Each structure stands twice: as structure tokens, then as C-alpha cells.
Structure 1
Amino acid sequence: MRIRLDISYAGTDFSGWARQPGGRRTVQQEIEDALGVVTRTGRTFELTVAGRTDAGVHARGQVAHTDLPEELWAAHGEHLVRRLAGRLPKDVRVWRAAPAPPHFDARFSATHRRYVYRVTDHPGGVDPLLRDHVLWHNHPLDEAAMNEAAGPLLGEHDFAAYCRRREGATTIRTLRELRWERRPDGILEATVVADAFCHNMVRSLVGAMLFVGDGHRAPEWPGRVLAARVRDSAVHVVRPHGLTLEEVGYPPDGLLAARNRESRNRRSLPGAAPAPGCC
């Protein structure tokens, strides 16, 4: 039976979500190994995740699923979260484990992912207690200019200029929200929401916005880069530690099957040839 897991982790000491060769520490490996221990099987129950975060990226609202034998869930399900808490390291938690509805897929059923990137332009730097979660930008930032620059990026576009290409994958995405707000403590938060993200997309968008915010580029520049559809050497991929996956959204249970089909469709822009890959 399919089990949904709701997960959070501090990405500082992880080499990303996905298992990697060479013994690098990853979130997937920690959870899968812990599942094998607490279910007393020693087996690897593979996790499918909503979004594969990079090394150093955090998550508060990550979602994954795994398929367990029904008898195993009957024997261990009631105590699984508590037992995982006793086995997992302190920088990763499973907050909920429950049977998923029919057709649920942590990756393909998702309707949106919401990330937040946090940065401070305080001349004194970052609060030491927040140093693993907030980027220091050593120039004053104009959030109004960054919000102006964000406008042309919203909607469905080919984000090739802001993504690291992967063989067989499309770079067409629908960016639903990109806005900057300054908190009372002075920290700037960029909220970025899309149906899905390609590799390095959020960190590249933030890098472009910061160039506008500190006056090195005009607000029109990120839109021109987007329209060019090629990587611009001036677009910096900012460091990962300021980024947190805050939420993954799903449709009502009755729409899960339709969402799965839609997510697997190849995407193309109007008037363009279909792009390879999915999501």
C-alpha cells in the first residue's frame, strides 16, 4: 500500500535529497535506511519525492511516498513516526506517515511547489543564529525594483536562461508567484511558486533579482534574459543555504489521476515544437 510521508530537514550537512554513489550523505538514504531498521526488515523501501533539493537546500514541507506491504503497515504503521524519530538524525524529521489516497504520487500529483529564499542586506551581516538559513548580500537592496523585475517572469515560459539543462528534460515551467517582502527584522524573503522547477531555477532567479535590487542591472534585464532562452553568464546561481522548500500542494483526491496524466504530458509553448521530457 502507498504511504505518504511529510518531511522536513536542515540541508546544511546533506549532499542533497537523492541517493548518490560514493557514500555521500543524503536525505533519501537516511530515511530509507531508517525505514529498513524500524520495520525490522532490513529492506530498502524506495522513496519518490515531490522535489529533489540540492546540497545545502532546506525543506519544511517536503512530501514523499513509498510502497509498503499491507501486513507491514498493519504491524508498524501506528508507531512508525515515533520510531523514525528515535532512529533518524536530528537534522531530518518525518512528521506524518499515512496511507495515501488512490492515484497519489508525491511527484506527479503535485500542483505546485512553494520555495522561500531569505537574504539580508544588513551592513553587519547575518545573525549568527540564522547563518545557515539566510544569505548576506553586501549591498543595499531595493525590494520595489526587484518586484518590478519579477512581473515579466510570471506565467508560462521557457526558463532555459535560468536552468541548468538536463538531457531529455524540458525547461518550460509556469511561474505563478515571485514576490519580495521585507520582514520587520530586515530580512528579505523571496516567495517563489511554480507548478514545478527545473535544476537551479529558483537560485538563478534570485541571483538575477539581487543584481536588480543592488542597482547593477535595470528592472527590465531579467525579462530580457528570459526572452533570450540561453544562459547568461551574468546570472549568478546564489548559494543554496538561503533556500527552503516550504510547501507542496496537491489537488482534491478525486482529481489525482487527472493531475498525474497532465504532469506527464510533454510541454511546449504556443507555436513551438513539443519539448522533450515531462513536468
Structure 2
Amino acid sequence: MSVEPESGRVRVRLDLAYDGRDFSGWARQRGRRTVQEELEDALRVVTRAERPWELTVAGRTDAGVHARGQVAHVDLPAEVWDEQRERLLRRLAGRLPHDVRVWRVSEAPAHFDARFSALWRRYAYRVSDHPGGVDPLRRGHVLWHNWPLDVAAMNEASARLLGEHDFAAYCRRREGATTIRRLLTLDWTRGADGVIEGTVRADAFCHNMVRALVGALLFVGDGHRPPEWPARVLAGGVRDSAVHVVRPHGLTLEEVAYPEDGLLADRNREARTLRTLGS
């Protein structure tokens, strides 16, 4: 079951975006600048609280990763929410640094949990294979790959990875955590500007999963490996030394999806269950 707000508190949903280049990721870390710390401190100041309010987030992005569609929630005392609800968005805009923006603040429905209620997260990874490099105005959001890339070969390889699998070969393992994930979308398109965009959508991601998958698929795109190679690595269940975790700046969390309000409690129970293949 989702942990509901304590009596007298209101769960508030925040939809936000940030440029990750100057952050050491989402989660608070001693002595490092993080998105969570900036946002919690801004909330503390504008609500005149003695201590920061703790945020729960949909996706704990790594250092250097951007977000356009991040979602978080915070439990505020009812009297604070009543006082702030009409002014909180503008007050946060005046307090937050320019590389973090909150676009929407709303009272969350019953059983909403930014992390456990999510049905899926969608990321985009952007890469350019232009021989001259990346547009200087986009250098903080697009990776340069110094080999021509075959998008059709990358899509052929990507299709073999879809579905529910143990992605241990593409994840950094964490004690007590499963590496079983359901990969819903993985495809690549080349835009009119020549930038190649990979869309990656899954019910959840384990640490480094997207960037490791992208690293393997770039090796297919530039001809160093055949299209069946990433699936062979997946089936092997262990990290191949040829799978490189690509740099974070090309990655952006674009969207988080949630079920209808009446299905939130069921989704929370499902997401909290440690899964096995076929569960």
C-alpha cells in the first residue's frame, strides 16, 4: 500500500524540469549540488518552515541528466497548503535557480505517489554523428558520436530488447533490488536537423540502464557490432566489457505517466512487489 500523508497534511504534486549539467543528480548528497536540495530548500524558504520538506520523486536522475517531465510530491501541513496554494508556483519561480523550474503545483488525488504510482517513464537520448560535431547551442544536450550511424540497424537491434527481461547486463546492481524491467519502447529517428533521437520507455529503470543500452546500440549503429549483439549480451546476464555507459548529457527524462485516480492504489501495490520474470 502507498503510504498516505499523515493526518492534517496534504499531498502536493509538483511537475518540474531542470538542466542537469551543473547538478550531481537528483538525490541529496553531502557537499554536492543536487536538484532535490535546491527544490527542498526553496520550499522551506517560501513556506517559512524551520526544516526542509522531504520530496519523493518519480525518477532519481543521475549527475548530468536533464528532465523536462519530472514529477515529485511533498506532504505539507493543511494550513500551509491553504495559505500557499494560489501563490506557491510564483514564489518558487522567484526563489529557484534558473536551471530548475516548477511548471505546475496541484493537490494530488488519494493514493498518489510520485514514484510508486507511475506506470512508465519515457526518456530521450539525443546524439549527432555530423562530422563537424554538435551545434554549439545544443552541446549540453546532444552527444557527438564520431562515426556515421545506421539508424535502421539500431532499430533492428532495439526491437530484440523489447519486453520483460532481466536487464542485469545493462544495469549497475544494487543490494536487494531486482534488475527485471519491462521495456515498452526503444526506437530511433533522425530529425531534419540530423540529430538522432532515441525514445526509451519502460515501467521503471535500474541504475545506468538507459545509458548502457544506448552505448550498445551506438556500437551497432556505427558497424562495430551486428544487430543481434545487444540481445546476446542481454541473454548472457553479465556486463560485456564492450558495453560502454555513454555520457549523461544526451539523456532527458521527458514524461512520467500515471493511471486514472481510481487505479492508483492498485498500481502502488503492484510497483512495491519485488518481481520475478513472468510475475
TM band (smaller chain):
over 0.9
The answer for unaligned runs of 5 or more in structure 2 is: 1-9
Q: Distance in 2 between matches of 1:207 and 1:42?
A: 45
Tell me what 1:249 maps to.
257
Tell me what 1:5 maps to.
14
Aligned-pair Cα RMSD in Å = 0.7
Amino acid paired to 2:195: I
SS in 2 for 1:78: coil
Amino acid paired to 2:16: I
TM-score scaled by length of structure 1: 0.96
Q: Deviations over 1:218-245 (max 9, x none)?
A: 0000000000011111100000000000
SS in 1 for 2:59: coil
Q: Distance in 2 between matches of 1:76 and 1:36?
A: 12
SS in 2 for 1:48: strand
Q: Which moved more, 1:3-12 or 1:36-45?
A: 36-45
Q: Distance in 2 between matches of 1:14 and 1:39?
A: 24
Q: Distance in 2 between matches of 1:42 and 1:258?
A: 35
The one of 263, 266, 273 aligned to 2:274? 266
Q: Distance in 2 between matches of 1:175 and 1:41?
A: 41
Q: Distance in 1 between matches of 2:39 and 2:246?
A: 28
- Asked whether 1:126 is paired with 2:106, we answer no
Equivalent residue runs for 1:1-279 within 5 Å:
1-21=10-30, 23-270=31-278
Amino acid paired to 2:21: T
Tell me what 1:277 maps to.
none
Q: Give me the identity figure in percent.
A: 76
Q: Distance in 2 between matches of 1:169 and 1:235?
A: 22
SS in 1 for 2:87: helix
Q: Distance in 2 between matches of 1:42 and 1:131?
A: 40
Q: Which runs of 4+ in 1 moved over 2 A?
A: none
Residue 43 of structure 1: how far off its partner (Å): 2.1
Tell me what 2:4 maps to.
none
SS in 2 for 1:68: strand
Residue 41 of structure 1: how far off its partner (Å): 1.5
Q: Distance in 2 between matches of 1:171 and 1:40?
A: 41
Q: Distance in 2 between matches of 1:252 and 1:127?
A: 41
Amino acid paired to 1:90: H
Q: Deviations over 1:99-121 (max 9, x none)?
A: 00000000000000000000000
SS in 2 for 1:124: coil
Q: Distance in 2 between matches of 1:248 and 1:100?
A: 15
Amino acid paired to 2:78: E
The answer for unaligned runs of 5 or more in structure 1 is: 275-279
Q: Distance in 1 between matches of 2:189 and 2:55?
A: 34
SS in 2 for 1:66: strand
Tell me what 2:7 maps to.
none
Q: Distance in 2 between matches of 1:225 and 1:152?
A: 11
Amino acid paired to 1:7: L
Tell me what 2:6 maps to.
none
Residues matched between the structures, number: 270
